[in-house]
Amino acid sequence: MSDVAESELSVFPEGFQFPEGFLIGASTSAHQTEGGNTNSDWWALETLEPSPLAEPSGDACDSYNRWDQDMDLAAAAGLNSYRFSVEWARVEPEDGEFSGPAIEHYRLMVAGAKQRGLKPVLTLHHFTNPLWFAQRGGWLAPDSSEKFARYAAALAPVIDEGAVAVVTINEPNMGAIMHRVMSGAASLGTGLGGLLPLPDPAVSAKLIEAHHVVAAQLRSRHNGLPVGWSVANQSVQWVAGGQEQAENYREAIEDIFVRAAVGDDFIGVQAYTRTVIGPNGKIDQGGRTTITGWEFYPQALADSIRHVAQLLPNVPQLVTENGIATADDSERIEYTSQALAGLGEAMAEGAAVRGYLHWSLLDNYEWGHWGPTFGLISVDRKTFQRTAKPSLAWLGRLARTTTS
């Protein structure tokens, strides 16, 4: 691609180098890519008749069988890291019944990433729950932390194969909101003035407890393993008359989860866009938007990094997600260039950032529909053939030239 070098130069000055060991890679999650995740609460929701979701995940990207192709493409482009998740519903399809083959599958994935020069970042929980866990109350069940800890213990062979970092729970703040939505207590459209419905504080508290229990367990069992969790960050802004509401909203939806990471080895930052709040709730900026309807706002990443650095000055950050749903791949490069430039500025001001993992490696199942394409690689929905987009070569080249 002829404009790769040109776009790249516009991100960082020539010769720019990230600190040694900086990760540049991409992220996926199991349910969104593997296909056939039949024992999970999401699968149950997708296959309800009628389902509140527009489309099911079905065979997804068939990555349960084709993960080696995904990793081959990522590594060939030059990425040095890959974040993926383990599907709890596969590892423990029934309460207390563990699947040896599923554990072996994920161990092989960690080994396969390492063989290709991709440092594996492992997520233990990415939105989906085993159906049995959901049916007994999900995170609200009194012993939910113990169940999660038992599952995490069963993953020892996977982690010990060489995960470079473990994210216990992906976006607990969105998970807490989903809990309300799944239990019928809220719909995604009922938030104040277009804001997201606030998480149920009881669910938030149980998620924080589960993270603390499992993080402590992992640290004691896996010497030196960096453990953290990843939070959905937005750039929350306000105009006159909106400050109090904006700060309260950010506190309940984001900041309590960020603060819960105090003492962790890192915090995962995941930022895509911004929310601007006025006296009457969310203010639609009316500008350029992406396929998900979110405002095109790459500065969200730097804003989030700065905000997290203020709340948690002593915890290093790892950008575990950032990206854009667009059918125009040059727009993906444009968005990501600006996001990365902002990341570089925040680092120059002192933020301790250890890596950047783009969302997503693949065009995958976007929680209810297939329309929003976040991928660096497209996937044919019938043949599952993968086609790398120019943005993959672009990000891989950036990784090769700025990291060591």
Q: Applying CB under 6 A, which residues contact ligand BGC?
A: 29, 32, 170-171, 174, 232, 270, 321, 359, 366, 374
Which of 341, 338, 340, 329 lies closest to 374 in space, CA to CA? 329
DSSP code string of 12-73: S-TT--PPTT-EEEEE--HHHHS---TTBHHHHHHTSSS-SSSS--TTTT-HHHHHHHHHHH
Q: Which residue lies nearer to ligand BGC by CB, 360 or 403? A: 360
Q: Which residue lies nearer to ligand BGC by CB, 217 or 373? A: 373
- Collect all residues with Cβ–Cβ distance below 8 Å to 167 and sequence separation of at least 6: 83, 121, 122, 123, 124, 228, 229, 230, 268, 320
Tell me how many degrees the CA angle 210-214-216 measures, rounded to the nearest 5: 120
- Strands 317-321 and 267-278, by their bridges, are parallel
Angle formed by the axes of helices 390-402 and 63-77, nearest 10°: 50
The CB-of-367 to ligand BGC minimum distance in angstroms stands at 6
The CB-of-75 to ligand BGC minimum distance in angstroms stands at 22
Would you state the structure tokens that stand for residue 98, as one six-digit string?
């563990």
The CB-of-371 to ligand BGC minimum distance in angstroms stands at 12
The CB-of-171 to ligand BGC minimum distance in angstroms stands at 5
Q: Which residue lies nearer to ligand BGC by CB, 116 or 211? A: 211
Q: On the CB side of 382, how many CA atoms lie within 13 Å of its CA? A: 0
* CA–CA gap between residue 59 and residue 51 (Å, rounded): 17
Residue 191 backbone zone (phi > 0: left; psi -120 to 50: alpha; other: beta): beta
Q: Which residue lies nearer to ligand BGC by CB, 154 or 379? A: 379
Q: Which residue lies nearer to ligand BGC by CB, 86 or 232? A: 232
DSSP-based three-state secondary structure for 146 = helix
Q: Which residue lies nearer to ligand BGC by CB, 32 or 402? A: 32
The CB-of-84 to ligand BGC minimum distance in angstroms stands at 12
- Strands 317-321 and 377-379, by their bridges, are unpaired
Would you state the structure tokens that stand for residue 394, as one six-digit string?
């672009």
The CB-of-401 to ligand BGC minimum distance in angstroms stands at 27
The CB-of-232 to ligand BGC minimum distance in angstroms stands at 5
Q: Which residue lies nearer to ligand BGC by CB, 359 or 394? A: 359
The CB-of-302 to ligand BGC minimum distance in angstroms stands at 18
Q: Which residue lies nearer to ligand BGC by CB, 128 or 402? A: 128
